[in-house]
Structure 1
Amino acid sequence: MTNVTVQNSGGESASPSRYRDLRILVILSALMSFASISTDLYLPAMPTIANDLHAAHGRIEFTLSGFLIGFSLGQLFWGPIGDRYGRRIPIAIGMGLFMLGAAGCALAHSIEQMVGWRVVQAAGACAGPVLARAMVRDLYTRERSAQMLSTLFLFMAVAPLAGPILGGQILAISSWQAIFWTMAGLGFLALFGTFALPETLSSSARNEGAFAAIFSGYFKLLFNPRIMGYAIASTFYYGGFYAFIAGTPFVYIEYFHISPQAYGLLFGVNILGVMSANFINSKLVAKLGCESLFHAGSAMAAIAGIMMALNAYLGWFGLAGIAIPFFFYAAMNGFIVANSVAGALAEVTRNAGMCSSLIGAMQYGSGIFSAALVGWLNDGTPWTMSSMIGLCSIGCLIASLLLKRRYAGS
């Protein structure tokens, strides 16, 4: 790992120690993990929560959709705030909201209450990922930021790997409420960790304009075709990923009759694929460039998504016909997400927080619709979830091809 280079207002740089580099990476990885912590930890408990709260069939998925609403819209707020006031203080405030929302979920007595508290939880949780990505942009150039984002995703993959496993074990020895109290405790640890982070945005680089003018910057980003090409492709990819997250607790546990504990292990296998691809990406991006790896990942994700949908429709290979193709779809996270974020952020010289917010809002916003559709259209088979993933994979590929065609001819 090379030393972090922090640019200050005068163009000078300082090279912190290797220990400081590692400390920053670990804390940023933890902050970027809060989307996974907030979703994956309670997945094995979703059927139990639905029974305890007397939720009608398909309504428990609204706890995921509610979270994604807060997570996507909240990012649009935190990015400009971080560009104006720096990165650390908004992250700390966000962690406080996250803990409040997690406690509210643990105390909820109805599905409606839980959905509401999930929105609060998400509004705080999203401050960490959006500003952590902006901090990487503060510190690194394009190819190096893609490499560092892959390293961060490699570290942060521990959360979705351990989340369902830990959630299943907590459910086995305690209750689903204990899962949300565990989330609150993790939020407290992250809050403590923010005090060890340096402030990466110098005073001279902050956006001091009026908030109306600051938020109007989103419209400029929306009309940047290169930023939007990366953002739309990764948005479709995330839509497929959240269709899987919303659908698998019922497909795996209720349709294929595996235990919540086995579900956690089976879910964790996918994260090993994500970790492996991120490791490979971090090694190849300096040689091949983030754009070529992004396009390759989009193509492979489309193949995996289409195969998964076909297997579900034709009933081929049972559980393996669903789990194996999705393993390869999930692994492409390592090539699609880090490289698309790095490519988009390389297009801005200021307002990295705003650009990061827009990308994140689109990515997680897609999950609002895909998770809700999986719940609404659920026919009791793997087809609804798998077809949604197949359609999203095709959308990701089309956006990637349009981006590639545009800049091949430019």
Structure 2
Amino acid sequence: MKTTAAPDTLSLILILGALMAFTSLSTDIYLPAMPQMSADLHGNAELTVTGFLIGFAVAQLFWGPVSDRIGRKKPLFAGMVLFAAGSVGCALSDSIGEIVFWRVFQAVGACTAPMLARAVIRDLYGQAQAAQMLSTLTVVMAAAPIIGPLLGGQIIRLTSWHAIFWLLALIGAAMLPALLKLPETHPAAKRRREPLWHAFSHYGELLANKIFMRYVACVALFYTAAYAFIVGSPFVYIDYFGIDAQHYGWLFALNILGVMALSVINRRLVNRFSLDQLLRVATTVAALAGFITALCAYSGFGGIYGIVLPVFVFFATNGIIAACATAAALNGVPHIAGAASALIGSLQYGSGIVSSLLLAAFADGTPQTMALIIAVFAVGSMIAAQLRLRPSASI
């Protein structure tokens, strides 16, 4: 059942889809420029992703309880202003240290977008409808990781990578009038009344909730594997396999098409199977694809196709895993959906910190480190999905 009258309109879908896409857009658009940034700034460009994910993970833990107390729209407006300001700082940076700092600042604002979009969905929809809506938004938000790298590749062909961040600043500013059309889905009557400091105690409640944390672990481990590809693939494809930076975006976009296709299919699947059943199958497929990726990377079998094809299968499963795990996790804690969404987002995207640091420390110029991280953490996601923490695993 819907918890509030939901304006189920195209504008709502587009706005929420744009908000959900902010994380991907903030990083994917400059992926083709990372090798050039490393050369220009004489540093490790992977750390710019690490900085963003640190800010993104930590700030959500603040914004979640705030949104439960004051509503969803005010934090969204504040977040867009901070995102735009951080993007300007990145554009003006001339060292890795500076850009990492501004990436953290940028992330403090950007994190409000997908986190509060999830909370809005939980405010408006029941469990099955929420999973369907998340799948729909996955299709809409997939435009960002498809267009982003392609656009970024063209920008660096015509000018410098600084222009990419100027573009992000304009996008953040353009979202402000769009947010005026978004309804306030968390009315005053449903807001938390306790002091703000007390609201942070909800994280302890969530961390102690084994059922909730099982789903969070499932999606967080999957995203650790996914970020290994997101951060590592520019160097693997461009430097190792010699793909032109302008064409890197096409290989990246291929994976997103798989996510979109499975997200569309998932809208039907959630009406026929339990969320747990879908998660078990999807994470098993992802783990097998990760294992094949590592096998090809270490043996050299298939060359670039030995990486591209199994990664495509692995990435496609995100169309089921992210939507089902998030919907199942939020369903059990509707009274603190803002804090719950914040914790999910913090651990989901914060998990990418692990990938980026591992790649920065151990990447050897081959696909092997990236592929090994994908395989190990995809298996971890599968194990989390297989756990049975109550007599009936059906949601």
Give TM class, smaller chain: over 0.9
Q: Which residue of 1 aligns with 2:330?
A: 345
Quote the Cα distance in structure 2 between the aligned partners of 1:349 and 1:363: 19
State which of 154, 178, 182 in structure 2 corresponds to 1:193: 178
Q: Which residue of 2 aligns with 1:26?
A: 14
Quote the Cα distance in structure 2 between the aligned partners of 1:404 and 1:274: 29
State which of 121, 128, 144 in structure 2 corresponds to 1:159: 144
What amino acid is the match of 1:190? M
Cα distance, 1:409 vs structure 2: 11
1:327-366 correspondence to structure 2 within 5 Å: 327-366=312-351
Render the CA deviation track for 1:41-76: whole Å, top value 9, x for unaligned: 000000111111121xxx210000100001111111
Cα distance, 1:291 vs structure 2: 2.2
For residues 119 and 15 of structure 1, do their structure 2 counterparts lie closer, same or farther at Cα, with a shift above 3 Å needed?
A: closer
For residues 407 and 225 of structure 1, do their structure 2 counterparts lie closer, same or farther at Cα, with a shift above 3 Å needed?
A: farther
Quote the Cα distance in structure 1 between the aligned partners of 2:155 and 2:189: 47
Q: Which residue of 2 aligns with 1:220?
A: 205
Name structure 1 gaps, 5 residues minimum: 8-13
Cα distance, 1:6 vs structure 2: 5.6
Cα distance, 1:219 vs structure 2: 0.5
Render the CA deviation track for 1:269-302: whole Å, top value 9, x for unaligned: 1000010010100122112232221221111100
Cα distance, 1:327 vs structure 2: 0.4
State which of 44, 52, 56 in structure 1 corresponds to 2:40: 52
Quote the Cα distance in structure 2 between the aligned partners of 1:62 and 1:30: 25
What amino acid is the match of 1:41? I
Q: Does 1:302 align with 2:302?
A: no
Quote the Cα distance in structure 2 between the aligned partners of 1:79 and 1:407: 30
Render the CA deviation track for 1:2-33: whole Å, top value 9, x for unaligned: xx9562xxxxxx464x6xx2111110110111
Quote the Cα distance in structure 1 between the aligned partners of 2:249 and 2:306: 18
For residues 41 and 403 of structure 1, do their structure 2 counterparts lie closer, same or farther at Cα, with a shift above 3 Å needed?
A: farther
Cα distance, 1:408 vs structure 2: 4.5
Cα distance, 1:215 vs structure 2: 0.2
Cα distance, 1:348 vs structure 2: 1.0
State which of 36, 39, 43 in structure 1 corresponds to 2:27: 39
Cα distance, 1:406 vs structure 2: 6.2
Q: Is the 8 A contact 1:143 1:289 kept in 2?
A: no
State which of 238, 244, 263 in structure 1 corresponds to 2:223: 238
Q: Which residue of 2 aligns with 1:173?
A: 158
Q: Does 1:280 align with 2:265?
A: yes
Q: Which residue of 2 aligns with 1:68?
A: 53
Quote the Cα distance in structure 1 between the aligned partners of 2:6 and 2:126: 15
Q: Is the 8 A contact 2:29 2:151 kept in 1?
A: yes
Quote the Cα distance in structure 2 between the aligned partners of 1:310 and 1:368: 24
What amino acid is the match of 2:29? L
Render the CA deviation track for 1:316-372: whole Å, top value 9, x for unaligned: 111001111110110000110000000000001311010001111111111001111
SS in 2 for 1:124: helix
Q: Which residue of 2 aligns with 1:389?
A: 374
What amino acid is the match of 2:25? I
Q: Does 1:122 align with 2:107?
A: yes
Render the CA deviation track for 1:164-186: whole Å, top value 9, x for unaligned: 00110111112100100111111
Quote the Cα distance in structure 1 between the aligned partners of 2:205 and 2:2: 29
For residues 405 and 216 of structure 1, do their structure 2 counterparts lie closer, same or farther at Cα, with a shift above 3 Å needed?
A: closer
For residues 141 and 5 of structure 1, do their structure 2 counterparts lie closer, same or farther at Cα, with a shift above 3 Å needed?
A: closer
For residues 15 and 152 of structure 1, do their structure 2 counterparts lie closer, same or farther at Cα, with a shift above 3 Å needed?
A: closer
What amino acid is the match of 1:319? I
Quote the Cα distance in structure 2 between the aligned partners of 1:26 and 1:184: 20
Cα distance, 1:212 vs structure 2: 2.2
Render the CA deviation track for 1:223-277: whole Å, top value 9, x for unaligned: 1111100000111100011111111110000000010111111100100001001
Cα distance, 1:208 vs structure 2: 1.6
What amino acid is the match of 1:213? H
Quote the Cα distance in structure 1 between the aligned partners of 2:301 and 2:263: 30
Q: Is the 8 A contact 1:229 1:403 kept in 2?
A: no
For residues 202 and 308 of structure 1, do their structure 2 counterparts lie closer, same or farther at Cα, with a shift above 3 Å needed?
A: same
What amino acid is the match of 1:179? I
Q: Is the 8 A contact 2:3 2:126 kept in 1?
A: no
State which of 268, 291, 300 in structure 2 corresponds to 1:315: 300
Q: Is the 8 A contact 2:6 2:124 kept in 1?
A: no
Quote the Cα distance in structure 1 between the aligned partners of 2:56 and 2:63: 10
What amino acid is the match of 1:32? M
User: What percentage of aligned pairs have identical amino acids?
Assistant: 48
Q: Is the 8 A contact 2:278 2:320 kept in 1?
A: yes
Cα distance, 1:403 vs structure 2: 3.8
Quote the Cα distance in structure 2 between the aligned partners of 1:370 and 1:54: 21
SS in 2 for 1:362: helix
CA RMSD of aligned residues (A): 1.5
SS in 2 for 1:247: helix
Quote the Cα distance in structure 2 between the aligned partners of 1:348 and 1:238: 22
Q: Which residue of 1 aligns with 2:192?
A: 207
State which of 142, 147, 155 in structure 1 corresponds to 2:127: 142
SS in 1 for 2:60: helix
What amino acid is the match of 1:313? Y
Quote the Cα distance in structure 2 between the aligned partners of 1:367 and 1:198: 31
Q: Which residue of 1 aligns with 2:276?
A: 291
Quote the Cα distance in structure 2 between the aligned partners of 1:190 and 1:336: 28
For residues 213 and 405 of structure 1, do their structure 2 counterparts lie closer, same or farther at Cα, with a shift above 3 Å needed?
A: closer
For residues 403 and 124 of structure 1, do their structure 2 counterparts lie closer, same or farther at Cα, with a shift above 3 Å needed?
A: farther
State which of 72, 96, 112 in structure 2 corresponds to 1:87: 72
Q: Is the 8 A contact 1:242 1:371 kept in 2?
A: yes
Quote the Cα distance in structure 2 between the aligned partners of 1:103 and 1:36: 18
